[in-house]
Every structure is written in C-alpha cells, then in structure tokens.
Amino acid sequence: MVEENKDNPKRVDYIDSDLFVPTNEWDKERFVGVYQCEICTGVVLKPVECSTPSCAMLYCEKCINAMREKECPHRCGSKVFNQPNRHMKSQLNEFKFKCQNQPRCQEIVPYHNYERHFSECKANKVYCQNPECIAQKKQVDDLLAKNESLRIQHQVEMKKLQDKAAKDIKNRVEEYEAIVQELYN
C-alpha cells in the first residue's frame, strides 16, 4: 500500500508477507508469525511491541494507532506499546523482501532500506505527464489509502467478533459442564 503526501511523495504503508525472501529455512522459521502484524497480517512497519513481557507481540505503529481502543489485540489487556528491543530490530533489518512493484521492479531489498527503495523506485514514476493521467493516478492512490484504512478497521472488528464468539462458546461450555455436574450429583 502506498500513500502520497507533499513531504514524502511515495511512502510504504504495507509490505505483504508474501514478498519475504528467506535466505534459508531458519530465516523462514524466525520470520513466520513473529514479524507479521496480527492486525493487518503484513510485515510490521515501524514496529511497536506490547509492553506485557509474556505477550510482547509486534504490531505496525499505524495499525495500533488506527484502533479506536488502543488495547493489545492479543488479549493480554495491555494499553502500552514500546519500541521493540534492539535484538528484534536487528533481526528484522536482516530480512529481505521483493519490491512490491514486481514484476516491473525485480529488486530484492533489505527491510531497513525498503522504504527508501520504494520512494525512489523507478516503477513508481508517472510516465504520462498529461494532467488528467496524473490526477487519475492521485485519485487511485487516495482510494487505495482509504481502502487500506478500511481493511485495517475490518481486521480489528473481525478480531473483536472472534473474541466475542469465543467467549460465548466458553460460557455455553461452562453451562453444559455445570448441568452435567448436577446430573452426576
């Protein structure tokens, strides 16, 4: 996902985890589930970490900020998010990803250079200088940014619904267990 503004014409807002390029099996094992945001399911961008030591899940800063209730989606209850520790950042910076402009761009880019590469990627250039083409591209980019925001909101709401459904099922199980216990007594 890409967003445009005057200060930074092209900015990465989402890296699909399918763009991850493992250099070996161990890389793949380290990456899967650890460096993916539980909200957007993409690679964590500008990661923040839940402050509860037993949780310590990573999320995109943008995803956490987009939530109405800034509470850890991993159900630990924390409302505090910190920068990940140096070790986590270092591991993340070791990973490499395909440019999201593939197949027009075939570059494999380290995480720490991904945003810079994307902002300078030749595949992002508007080739037609006709004002109508530029305006249409801006409109498409605006719609993509709005779509991304809605997608994040949808993910958060789906997580809430799943949590509610799980709680309802747990309550029903407890009710049935109580009835069974009464029948045995």
Task: Please give the pLDDT value at position 108.
Answer: 92
- The CA distance from 113 to 124, in Å, is 16
Task: Please give the pLDDT value at position 24.
Answer: 80
Give the number of other Cβ atoms within 10 Å of residue 94's Cβ: 14
Give the number of other Cβ atoms within 10 Å of residue 31's Cβ: 18
Task: Please give the pLDDT value at position 129.
Answer: 67
As a whole number of Å, the end-to-end CA separation of the chain is 60
- The CA distance from 85 to 81, in Å, is 12
The mean per-residue pLDDT over the stretch 16-39 comes to: 82
Task: Please give the pLDDT value at position 23.
Answer: 83
- The CA distance from 46 to 151, in Å, is 18
Give kind and range of the element (H or E) at residue 110: strand 108-110
120 Cβ contact partners less than 8 Å away, ≥ 6 residues apart: none
Question: pLDDT of 59-89, one tens digit each?
Answer: 888 888 887 777 888 778 888 898 988 888 8
Task: Please give the pLDDT value at position 128.
Answer: 64
Structure tokens at 101: 């402009």
Task: Please give the pLDDT value at position 141.
Answer: 77
52 has pLDDT over 50: yes
- The CA distance from 126 to 138, in Å, is 10
Entry pTM = 0.60
**What's the pLDDT band for 109 if we cut at 50, 70, 90?**
very high
Domain ranges of the chain: 2-184
More confident residue, 67 or 178: 178
The mean per-residue pLDDT over the stretch 133-160 comes to: 79
Give kind and range of the element (H or E) at residue 12: strand 11-12
Task: Please give the pLDDT value at position 5.
Answer: 39
User: Which listed CATH number (3.40.1190.20, 3.90.1010.10, 3.30.40.10, 3.40.50.1110) goes with 2-184?
Assistant: 3.30.40.10
The mean per-residue pLDDT over the stretch 25-43 comes to: 81
- The CA distance from 24 to 163, in Å, is 35
- The CA distance from 92 to 59, in Å, is 13
